[in-house]
Amino acid sequence: MRPNIVIVMADQLAPHWTGAYGHGVAKTPHMDALAARGMRFDAAYSNSPLCAPARFAFMSGQLISRIAAYDNAAEFRASIPTFAHYLGALGYKTCLSGKMHFVGPDQKHGFQERVTTDIYPADFAWTPDWEAPDERIDSWYHNMSAVTEAGPAIATFQTDYDDEVEYAARRWLIDRGRDRAGGDEAPFLLVASYMHPHDPYVAKPEFWDLYSDDEIDMPAHVLPLDEQDPHSRRVLDGIEASDITLSDDEIRRARRGYLANVSYFDSKLGAMLQALEDIGELDNTLVLVTADHGDMLGERGLWYKMNFFEPSARVPLIIAGPGAVPGVAPNACSLVDILPTLVDAVGGTPDMFGAPIDGRSLMPLARGEEDPVDEAIGEYCAEMTGYPVFMIRRGNLKYVHCDPDPPQLYDLAIDPEERVNRAADPAYADAAAAFADEVRRRWDSEQLRADVIATQKSRRALHAAMEAGPPEHWDYNPPRDASNEYVRNHIDWDVAAKRQRFPRWDGSGDG
């Protein structure tokens, strides 16, 4: 029997802030339990530490430079195959509940059902301008209000959204249980993708109250402005942090709010696992937990993402269920590996791929086998830079390159907080030279920059035209036919009651 697949995805979740990855205070019981019965990947990376590009790489198994998924307003073309397409072709029922930040008129990308709208706009409004890289776009660029306004709240638009995502995903899973009761054994793929713990760091009181200020630690390594590398300085300027001095109380409350929202996300994971248990499919479901990127949370003085330091670029990745064994995988990997992993897990083969795949299957690692590959590749081509930023993580070394900036090389085995740039260290001269040569061979940075600027110009022109005419929205509006729901004149009450009751009544009085 082919396994079901359920992917539970967070937004902006740094693995360092979960109990499953060793945080001493984080309350994440569901993720901890899943990691205990599955494989925890300790060097999983975002291929581009920004929402939409990371998600497009995740869905397609391709690097963002290959598919022009440069930023949060880059179109995800309908011609790009995704793992939803491939699993659908293999007979899976497929569904997306929640955020995937699809940009463009195709808002399903292979999912047969999409049961919620998205939380962010689907048009070209958020297009950056690399020809004016120092220009802020106040309507959507980050600023520091997410830090300074941290605290508890009964509701926010983000909690409204995530509660809807949970309800819709759980209902879809219960319907799969109803299908099973009716004799339909088709396997299913569900992606339940939540907004939290993405800033702002505002949490429901019951999660805020899980923590206290005195147990929240402060950033371990903070650099003054004059010691920041050039890209970090650009990010600090872009998020308006260069001219703001945060108090310790503000930093602590923001980190407390983030932890609270990590626990909130963990509760959503628990709801998905409980739904699988309720329909009797937990043991036959491969469950993956991951995120699109992490969050700096004041480390190095930085906030949010948009760089390749560990808190921003690392993501959690846990695989548990059929074919996975308990353990820890140290190999570097990334979100582009998810597509070949899923296809491998359900019995598909690479000959079905309709496009080049930049990732590899992680199922050998999930099974506890050896994997000779220990590598992750990153590319950043969005706001707060004017040139592509590249990252290569191989073994214990991480190399970061951007044409106008000095290179960065970190040895994570002895310097996990990335305090010492070893690019000019004579002891690492051979490694630094080899990485620099690899960057030149892998990428034509000037051509990629020209390509990015060209798409930015075309998208801004199209957005201006769309704004000038009658409104044309690409935002997904989930279809609903209320006339065929619940009990209607053409639907027999007894038939509806029997179909929708789960588990079905067996006449015994016990269920």
Return the amino acid letter for 140. W
Three-class secondary structure of residue 108 per DSSP = coil
| Catalytically annotated residue among 30, 51, 196, 333 | 51
Residue 3: C-alpha distances to residues 87, 104, 323, 403 (Å): 11, 32, 9, 45
> Which residues have CB under 8 Å from 418's CB, separation 6+?
300, 309, 310, 398, 410, 412
| Cα–Cα dist 312/15, whole Å | 10
Q: Is 101 a catalytic residue?
A: yes
- Dmax (CA) for the chain in angstroms is 81
> Which residues have CB under 8 Å from 196's CB, separation 6+?
10, 11, 158, 159, 162, 261, 262, 264, 265, 268
DSSP letter at 373 equals -
Which DSSP string do the residues of 64-118 spell out, in sequence order?
HHHHT--STT----TTS--HHHHHHHTT-EEEEEE-----SS---TT-SEE-S--
Nearest Cα neighbor of 219 from 193, 258, 186 is 258
The H-or-E segment that residue 227 falls in is: none
| Cα–Cα dist 277/85, whole Å | 27
Return the amino acid letter for 358. D
What the block records as the tokens of 164 is: 């809807």
| Catalytically annotated residue among 30, 85, 101, 198 | 101
| Cα–Cα dist 312/48, whole Å | 10
What the block records as the tokens of 232 is: 């970090």
| Cα–Cα dist 442/68, whole Å | 16
Enumerate the active-site residues: 51, 101
